[in-house]
Amino acid sequence: MNFDLTDDQREIQRTARALLTARSSFASVRAVAESPARTYDTALWEELIGLGWAGIAIPETYGGQGLGLLELAVVAEQLGWAATPSRWLSNALAAQLVLGAGSERQREQLLPELAVGRETATVGIARDGVAELVPDADSARWIVLVERGQAIVHDARGGGVAIEPRETIDPTRRYARVTVHASGAGAGRLLDGPLEAGLDRAEVVLAAELTGLAQRALELTVAYVQERRQFGTPIGAFQAVSHRAAQQLLETEGARSAIWFAAWAADAEPEALPRAAAMAKAAAADAGRHVTAAAIQLHGGIGFTWEADVHWLYKRAQLDAALLGSASEHRRRIARLAAAAADAAAPGVSADAEAAAGRGHA
């Protein structure tokens, strides 16, 4: 593939950056974080819907825009860059999981609603029927819980789940504990397709947001170290500082390259997606955590204050890095996939089933 964006993808990127610069400034992020209910900007959500971004990578057959996962990743990165408080990401993760792992009938039932924002959905990893941190579960109609290699869609209005708001270090996004307590009529529906295909697509989108967080942290750091002076010299001229900033750039660009390849593979070379998605999430989780942490340190004492903006990026990155599997979990998954590919003689074990089962545990 050509590791660059097309003109159309660049236009999506520019449009997203312009919109979010105007409508999702750090002042608006702070307003949401400091409000008791942490209410998202409804007008911004409507603008995202109007641009078709809720369904950008959902096929036209199901009411979406019919673009690829790379276009979706471009939008996700920009929303991460702005640390936008929105249910867009959780809805996008769920839509891609259903698209990849749902049956044709399930796609027809769920995706048209998600593509135009009439209903929203979210995703969580459960253990023994409990998912501890599910983003935007309090406002979602559909909650997709992954456990033991299976994904089950629960109707939040059906009485089969209990939703309990949770406080986290990230005040820019609402989280909840979701507990499954119903069977029979109140039980969820098992997604009938290959779970790994859906999880892989969702992980690429999440990785893209992480890279956006890292990119913004890098930009803030570079601007600060060029402005802040010590001994009459910008601190960015000191090697100890410039080398840290260079490392931030390397990690951010490396993660972005992995994400672009994984997003391309999802639509052009699906057999390469499992390993590519794991590499993308691992690289982005590391970049998101490391780059935002370095940004706080390179801002000096002011970086640790509530008034500084860089901490919004750091806090979001910590939660994003843990969602849908940590960096270490995905590195172990890469090793399992490589071992399975090298050991085709293992009887009765498929790489798909083993890898998916490994991600079904919290």
DSSP state string for 158-200: TTSEEEEEE--S-TTS-EEEEEE---GGG--EE--S-HHHHHH
325 domain residue, yes or no: yes
Task: Name the strands in the sheet holding 161-166, side by side, starting at the edge strand that comes first in the sequence.
Answer: 130-135, 175-180, 161-166
262 domain residue, yes or no: yes
For residue 315, the model assigns a pLDDT of 97
322 domain residue, yes or no: yes
d(CA 247, CA 294): 9
Residue spans of the chain under pLDDT 50: 351, 361-362
For residue 343, the model assigns a pLDDT of 79
55 domain residue, yes or no: no
d(CA 255, CA 208): 8
**CATH number of the CATH domain containing 238:** 1.20.140.10
d(CA 280, CA 207): 6
303 domain residue, yes or no: yes
For residue 258, the model assigns a pLDDT of 98
Statement: the pTM of the whole predicted model exceeds 0.85: yes
d(CA 63, CA 49): 12
For residue 169, the model assigns a pLDDT of 95
181 domain residue, yes or no: no
89 domain residue, yes or no: no
For residue 303, the model assigns a pLDDT of 87
Q: Beta strand 161-166 with 229-230: parallel, antiparallel or unpaired?
A: unpaired
Domain count across the chain: 1
279 domain residue, yes or no: yes
pLDDT digit string, tens, across residues 256-275: 999 999 999 999 999 999 99
For residue 356, the model assigns a pLDDT of 55
- Give the structural domain span for 277: 195-359
